[in-house]
Amino acid sequence: MTTGVSLVLKNVNLPEGRIADISLSRGAVSHVGAGLLSDDAIDCSSYLVLPAASDMHVHMRGGIQSSKEDWRSGSRSALAGGVTLVIDQPNTIPPITTPGLCNDRVLDAQLHSACHFAINSGVTAGTDFEAMWHAGAIAFGETFFSPSSYGEAIGEATLEQALKRIGNLNALATIHAEKITPVSDLDLRSHDQARSIQSEEQAVRTVNSCNTSRCRVHFCHLSSAASLDAASGSLEVTPHHLFLSLESVDNSSAFGKVNPPLRTERERKNLWERWGRITVIASDHAPHTMEEKQKKFSDAPAGIPGVETMMPLLVGHILDKKISVISVIEKTSLNPATLLGIRKSGFEVGDRADFALYPKTPVRIRADTLHSKCGWTPFENHMAVFPRQVIMGGTMVYCEGEFFKGSPQWFPGRGYNR
């Protein structure tokens, strides 16, 4: 066959209600309508077909943190959850703050990642932002405006300067906005007090006022309605803040410890009421080992895994008619691509040929069926819909628990000097 069409997705129910065949050639959507000739076709009439997600916030670890996760395990976890592009955060050990470290991170991912990837630059007082932009960083941050696991905080003056320089590059700065009150960190409720909703909102307002140069700012993982209302710029919310609350997890266990913390059930519902204001849903996939999470609460690291469960939880909500298909596509494919200046996955000719095919049957989430190295999930027993097949670059890379070799690409930022 010489049509150049690698695969046709037949009978796809498009978000606008039309049914069409989608032909994929050379990694892109080449035709939407009647299917072009191809050796390979998948009948999608029983599936909810979605553009594969781009997860703007993951921590793929590796190096001396490989017992938590590495590129191989983390990227497979992404694919099995319908995510074909991950944006890796720079708070690795050592943090990604020099072009050399950025290159090493890219090389590691090129060797081991099963999915597409991009790398963010760290933001510290000494970071050479221009050099990191030329090295291929796609965005700057998460910028720690308060310390977190493996993240050292910067002060207001440094942030203001950093935003000026990042703004001059017309690049995106992503911010972890929190403030800490010194109270004992004994359990999830005191962790919530130590990093309260009020102080998160205050931190958001301070970041707004530090942005005198009007740099493009993206707020990471906001956890309350008040912070969403205060934020100027784009913002992301995580599945754990949308699907978990202080009431739904064991208060004394550090498995639910995360920054920003889980909030009350009331606040969780408030977040859902702001669904329309949320620009991006990102997982903040931050795996730690079970051994680390079983330490004394105050010593246990903050962070929970989620790249594999993000889309399945959202698709469950789509099937329950709680949220629209279009809103999920916007927040997991279109908006991340627009913010990062890359090609989106989607149903239009020229879009990236990355799709996830979801059966319309929810199942219970079980940690032992997931692919992250950490081996646990805070969403155990939640109902979700996992993709049966995942397409990346026009070819099948995942089917019913089995992975197939694809062509993962690095997505450098616009400043990359080859």
Q: Which of 159, 302, 313, 314 binds ligand DOR (CB under 6 A)?
A: 302
Which of these is catalytic: 70, 185, 284, 351? 284
- Parallel, antiparallel, or unpaired for β 28-33 and 19-25? antiparallel
Binding mask 170-199 for ligand DOR (x = CB under 6 A): ------x-----------------------
Q: Which of 258, 280, 314, 318 binds ligand DOR (CB under 6 A)?
A: 258
Looking at beta carbons only, is 150 or 355 nearer to ligand DOR?
Answer: 150
Question: In the structure encoding, which two tokens stand for residue 100, read together?
Answer: 């050399």
Q: Which of 67, 149, 206, 289 binds ligand DOR (CB under 6 A)?
A: 149
The amino acid present at 393, given as its one-letter code, is G
Q: How far is CA 120 from CA 27, 136, 140, in A?
A: 24, 9, 5
Site size with ligand DOR, rule: CB under 6 A = 13
> How far is residue 256's CA from residue 293's CA, in Å, rounded to a whole number?
9
β-partners of residue 121 are: 140
Binding mask 27-66 for ligand DOR (x = CB under 6 A): --------------------------------x-------
- Of residues 72-111, those binding ligand DOR (CB under 6 A): 91
Axis-axis angle for helices 71-80, 99-112 (nearest 10): 60
Binding mask 303-342 for ligand DOR (x = CB under 6 A): x---------------------------------------
Q: Which of 151, 316, 394, 415 binds ligand DOR (CB under 6 A)?
A: 151
**Nearest alpha carbon to residue 315 among 357, 369, 375, 371:** 357
Binding mask 201-240 for ligand DOR (x = CB under 6 A): ----------------------------------------
Looking at beta carbons only, is 176 or 317 nearer to ligand DOR?
Answer: 176
Asked if residues 205 and 231 have their Cβ atoms less than 8 Å apart, the reply is: no
> How far is residue 352's CA from residue 51's CA, in Å, rounded to a whole number?
9
Asked if residues 5 and 30 have their Cβ atoms less than 8 Å apart, the reply is: yes
Q: What is the DSSP letter of 323?
A: S
Task: Judge whether 354 counts as a catalytic residue.
Answer: no
> How far is residue 252's CA from residue 256's CA, in Å, rounded to a whole number?
9
Cβ atoms within 10 Å of 301's Cβ, excluding its own: 19
**Contact set with ligand DOR (CB under 6 A):** 59, 91, 148-151, 176, 258-259, 286, 301-303
Residues acting as catalytic residues? 284
